[in-house]
Amino acid sequence: QAQLVESGGGLVQAGGSLRLSCAASGPTFARYVMGWYRQAPGKQRELLARISPGGSTNYEDVVKGRFTISRDNSKSTIYLQMNMLKPEDTAVYYCAADHVSNPGTTNYWGQGTQVTVSS
């Protein structure tokens, strides 16, 4: 059973930056496509970015050019560098792990970390 633990959330002013981390334990990290999602109050959870075991990335338009996803397989950790933050980025941010045999079906979720961007 894998466990994902996010950290790095907090309160930041608009235009500022934060870096989120997600540390994984359990099954082989390198066999999972990892992703960052967020959920704002009253809204559905949305995908932001994903990264393959080999480091290939893709981003949703809402964060493209502002957020960067990365991973360190040696530390079983992924990161989300968030720049030029906007008040509408306020949400709970979650990391997720999809086994490479079935990407798009999330096997594990973290507990989430709150990001609040003030105007």
pLDDT of res. 89 = 98
- Give the tens place of pLDDT for each residue, 37-94: 999 999 999 999 999 999 999 999 999 999 999 999 999 999 999 999 999 999 999 9
Separation CA 52–CA 40 (nearest Å): 25
pLDDT of res. 41 = 92
- Poorest-pLDDT segment among 2-6, 10-14, 24-28, 45-49: 24-28
pLDDT of res. 8 = 98
Provide the pLDDT confidence category of residue 104 given band limits of 50, 70 and 90.
confident
pLDDT of res. 2 = 82
pLDDT of res. 106 = 87
Closest CA to 4 of 22, 28, 20: 22
- Give the mean pLDDT of the chain: 95
Q: Are strands 108-109 and 91-99 parallel, antiparallel or unpaired?
A: antiparallel
Cross-strand pairs, 23: 5, 77
